[in-house]
Chains A and B, each alone.
Chain A
Amino acid sequence: MRARFDIGLRAAAALAVAVVMVTVLPLLAPQFTGRFVDDAIAGAGAGRLTMIALGYLVVAVAGQAARMLTAWLARRAAWDATNRLRETLAGHALGLDMAYHGRHTPGEMIERVDGDVAAIADFAVAFLLDVVASVLLLGGVLVVVCVIDPRIGAVLLAYCLLIGYAMTRVQRRAVPSATLVRATDAEMIGTLEERLAGAEDIRANGAGEHTVNGFYGAAAAWFHAEYRAGWIGSGLVAGTSITFALGTATVLGMAAWAQLSAGTAVLLFQYTMMVRTPFERLIDQLRQYQAALAGFARVRALLSEQRTLPAPADPRPLPGGALGLEIDHVGFAYDGAFEVLTDVALTLAPGQTLGLVGRTGSGKTTIGRLILRLYDPGRGAVRVGGIDLREADPASLRRRVCAVTQDVQLFAGTVRDNLTLFRPLADDDRLRAALAEVGLDGWDLDMRLDGQAFSAGEAQLLAFARALLADPGLVVLDEPSSRLDPATERSVERSVERLLAGRTGVLIAHRLSSLSRVDAVAVVEGGRIVECGPREALLGDPASRFSRMHGLAEAAR
């Protein structure tokens, strides 16, 4: 931490020195040309004129070198700063609840974490490189011109103030249009990302041309936004150009009127031109600044996005060992819409396993999500290890409650990355052991996973290995074997058994076969628990829904 800070200080100091050089050296150069003209007219010797010209050369080239150095230092500093911003944003967004991620595509998140920050990065470089140096140079020029002729200096100052005022006015108008450009761009890119991810579905459904037409629509919206923003942006550039021509003409007119020497007029002309360059750079940066402002606005919006699940005031860690589960008369509705769970009550002693059975859309998955605290219940409470999840320490919750989800996401990376999710949590022997337990022995930890050629069953097996590596006290298995065929399932069953040994387990299952090891069964229907009890007891009761489902399965076979 400290070392990194020291490097930061050194870089800042170096940058400061470089910026001063970038300012001072160009200020010196016109002094040489002004002197040259006056001396030449006065008939000075060739040697003296040559010396002045050489002096100009040295100063001018040194100025360029300083600029180069500044660029290098500024870019590094800006990248460091914006990379930190990217990490902060990604961290913040990862911390947001699933309710948020349900509303935003990965493509949109790419734009917000990477695209918006890129605009800011461009501006940060420009700010360190152009804005600071330009403002310093501008100040220097004004001082020098004031020394030459205070009246001309005053006119120049008035001009700069006028232009500065006008610029800020125009910029206020430009920001909304730049925001619209970025929004339509993000929409277009987001559409592309989603459609490319589903390319095979689109092809197989013969919907290629239709999808391309959809892209044309998004591109048209982007063009119309860019067109409007283009008027304002180019108008700003042209306006500055004209205004500065007016400024140059005024200064030269005044020089003629004040009957200054030709050398002084050349000197003033060059200084006025020098004001123009930093101002043009500032305007140029203003466009990036607009994009950056829009980026900043969106970054702020993302950062101000709050978790809908409140953090506990006094976070309590979950106890060790197997964790009891109590779902205490819970009601729940997504987005405040109609209730998907009504008065759900379940109790599970530590070390026991429960199978959740029910029709499609009955609310089984939602119960699992509540146990993981991806959402908070609207009514009632979910307690794990005797602690209301709203009061539980989130880190401890993630450590102690583990899930195997329906859709397994594989990351572009090695098998190791996908097992540990980038955490340095286990030595390779443990990783290999976990792979072996789910029947993926022989897989090289350094093998890179290619999502295209990977079967969903294999992804599911990998998710099992992930779960085995964690040491949870409560496991939620959401259809863990939905994509496994029976032969592979048997090998997994052994590891599931090992995973559940000494732990509490909730199996959200559609297949009766996966319920063979549970202690209790709960049947969910329309968001209510309609039947709950020890598995054997339900099976033994011919009137129970559970035994009826068994009958159906038998008949189907």
Chain B
Amino acid sequence: MTGETRNDASRHNAPRDHSAAAGLSRAGRARPVWLVAVRLARFDLPRFLIGAFLWLPVMVIPLAGGLLLQRLFDQLSGARPAGLGQILWICAAFVGAEAVRGVILVIAHTYGTYWWDAAATLLRANALRSILTARGAAAARLPHSSAEAVARLRDDVAGVVSFVDEVVPLTGAVLFSGAAVAVMASIDPVITLVLVLPMVVIGVLSRLMSELVRRLHLRARVLGAQVTAYVGDIFTGVLAIKTAGAEAAALRRLRAHNRARRDAAVKDSLATDLLDTATDATVEISVGLVLLLAAAAMRRGEFTVGDLALFTSYVGWLAQLPRTVGGILFRLPQAAVSTDRLTRLMAPHESADELSRDTGVWFYRDRPPAPTPGRAEPLELLQADGLTVRLGPAGHGVHRGIHDIGLRLPRGSFTVVTGAVGSGKTTLARALLGLAPLDAGTIRWNGETVADPGTFMVPGRVAYASQIPRLFSATLRENLLLGRTGDDLARALRLAAFDDDLARLPRGLDSLVGPRGMRLSGEQIQRVTAARALARTPELLVVDDLSSALDVETERTLWDRLDGAGTLLVISHRPAVLERADQVIVLDRGRLAGRGTLRELLGDCPEMRRLYHGDVLTDLL
């Protein structure tokens, strides 16, 4: 549950989330689900309809089976005497009907796979696209662990698609039930009427239970996602656990998570079973009712053994209707929860609308590559005023927000942001790039106010080499280019001082870097990240703590090459970098402590003196 709470707390700017968290009326919560459901049915309507149409015979053919059984038993019991030959013909027809149904079933199922997978991929791709490209900061909507986000994209998407899928059996069940009730009523209207009642009971029962089911299901999902997230965590941090010898303790924690999930999951499925069992029991009770009510009629000869066979055969299939209705009613609250969880992955200005937008199916052809952005308007001046980011609940003792910070980066300038640990250096960079949500402040590019930094401050205007860079399981080339053409790659690699390392790699740019780039050393990853940013030929390059892991010589080479390569905003505390800077911005606990050249600041900024001379003294030995 903590994941949910944290998400809501960190998104207080979005009114939509408030209402979702507070819990609107049932209808209010269900509306986005219906929008998503309709969209999923319509993104490839012909296929959905043909798929549904193929399923209908599968559902309706049992009608013929019942009629054949009726004939057969009437002949067996002597109500309608006939020769053995005719009986065998009926038996053959019975098998024939089933054979037709079987063939259609295979076709319908295989055909339906396309729709199901396409619908799931549609939702997943839309959520992923929003996280990676939509306006607003992604950090605010992603759960702490990427594994938890994955759990949503895997399980919640499957839940929503299954809910829509359920419409097809519902149609089939309605068709079958209508016809079956008509046939039965023509035989004995009273018994038919009595049989409808238990079916209604089942429908009402499942509706009543849906709220409980929803709650239990949500809990099971949350606890399930926690296990997934935890497993992801321990394997991401496997080195820390191994070097600390904490394997046993990590497993004990896994056991605790597992227990909690077991209890929740058993309760969740118990609720499902209760509905299932109630449905099955209804079928049995109905058969019993037929026996009770038919006793007198059978004695009078008005109700034959064949009729009995038909009724008992239809009752089982009839129960499909309340079962399917129950199933839909049961899945609806789950799908509402899932839609809600998925929508919260989307940007604040987005809703279920963007989540379910038809963005095409790409199973049989590749999607055309995204166009490389053209050259941006050259940067003359980047200004930022009053940048404020409040992170986390106050009173933590952890300073990581920033308050009222201004910046002025003229073309070709070299600006360094420095400060103690937790002073907000990285937050400032992330706020400027739109990666952290801005609570106040404006950013102006050549005097024009930037409406959404997250989508504006990107290549070809700005590129970013982050403090904790992420590489992906792919080739070095793919990691560097990420979809761009490689025209500027050689220059970028040289500027980032990675050319020598590249020459030493046996397979060069085709080398696989391993999961999260694990086959490269930490310092190599940092320079690859810098090269990745430089390959985008940005007007402004933002670099976070690039030289922290580099040795002295590599660092000097790097800065010699980068200096003068464009407008630079660098987060660093290295003297060698501070000295090169045109201006240094000193942060202290999220506030501006000084601004100027290093020389000026050493004169009039106590925090700068504290930071700078700390290193000088230790280096003097």
Contacts and interface: CB of A to CB of B under 8 A. Distances in A.
A103 B142 contact: no
A105 B515 contact: yes
A156 B467 CA distance: 71
Contact of B576 (A213, A482, A557): A557
A231 B106 contact: yes
28 contacts: A33-B287, A56-B287, A86-B254, A94-B251, A98-B239, A101-B518, A104-B515, A105-B515, A192-B154, A194-B473, A196-B150, A199-B142, A200-B139, A204-B463, A212-B132, A250-B91, A253-B91, A256-B84, A358-B551, A374-B239, A374-B242, A402-B244, A421-B240, A455-B426, A461-B421, A479-B549, A487-B420, A539-B621
A245 B549 contact: no
B396 A114 contact: no
Given A64-B281, A360-B524, A487-B611, 5 more contacts: A209-B370, A220-B363, A227-B117, A408-B240, A510-B550
B531 to A, nearest CB: 11
B410 interface: no
B109 A487 contact: no
B367 A409 contact: no
Nearest to B517: A198
A516 to B, nearest CB: 6
Contacts of B261: 79, 83
A402 B243 contact: yes
A556 B556 CA distance: 8
Contacts of B252: 422
A486 to B, nearest CB: 4
Interface centre among A198, A237, A256, A486 (most CB of B within 10 A): A486
Contacts of A457: 421-422
B105 interface: yes
Interface string A229-256: 0110111011101101110111011011
B270 A72 contact: yes
Contact of A76 (B108, B142, B262, B305): B262
A106 B235 contact: yes
B73 interface: yes
A32 B291 CA distance: 10
A421 B363 CA distance: 44
B575 to A, nearest CB: 5
A412 interface: yes
Q: Which DSSP category, helix, strand, loop or mixed, fits chain A's interface? A: helix
List the 4 closest pairs (A to B, CB-CB), nearest first.
A210-B483, A398-B245, A198-B470, A409-B237
B483 A94 contact: no
B363 A224 contact: yes
Interface string A179-223: 000000000011011111111111111111111110111011011
Nearest to A439: B421
Interface residues of B, number: 190
Contacts of B518: 101-102
A450 interface: yes
Contact of A249 (B94, B248, B294): B94
Contacts of B460: 206
B21 interface: no
A444 B29 CA distance: 37
Contacts of B186: none
A227 B125 contact: no
B128 A211 contact: yes
A265 B242 contact: no
Nearest to A554: B619
A83 B255 CA distance: 7
A203 B435 contact: yes
Contacts of A361: 501, 504, 521, 523-524
A240 to B, nearest CB: 9
Contact of B253 (A37, A91, A422): A422
A90 B231 CA distance: 8
A537 to B, nearest CB: 14
Nearest to B621: A516
A548 B142 CA distance: 48
Contacts of A53: 288, 291-292, 295
Nearest to B306: A262
Interface string A106-136: 1111100110000000000100000000000
A453 B128 contact: no
Given A60-B288, A95-B247, A453 B277 contact: no
Contacts of A29: 284
Interface stretch (A41-49, A164-172, A499-507): A41-49
Contacts of B65: 245
Contact of B396 (A41, A57, A102, A447): A447
B454 to A, nearest CB: 7
Contact of A266 (B103, B309, B516, B533): B309
A249 B246 contact: no
A502 to B, nearest CB: 20
Contacts of B284: 29, 57, 60-61, 63-64
Contact of A40 (B99, B243, B299, B462): B299
B273 A72 contact: yes
A488 interface: yes
Nearest to B533: A205
B13 interface: no
B53 interface: no
Interface in B149-204: 149-150, 153-154
Contacts of A342: none
B98 interface: yes
Contacts of A252: 72, 76, 87, 91
Contact of A212 (B87, B125, B554): B125
Interface string A425-457: 000000000000000001110011011111111
B238 interface: yes
B149 to A, nearest CB: 5
A173 interface: no
A223 B373 CA distance: 31
Nearest to B77: A262
Interface string B441-463: 00000000000001000111011
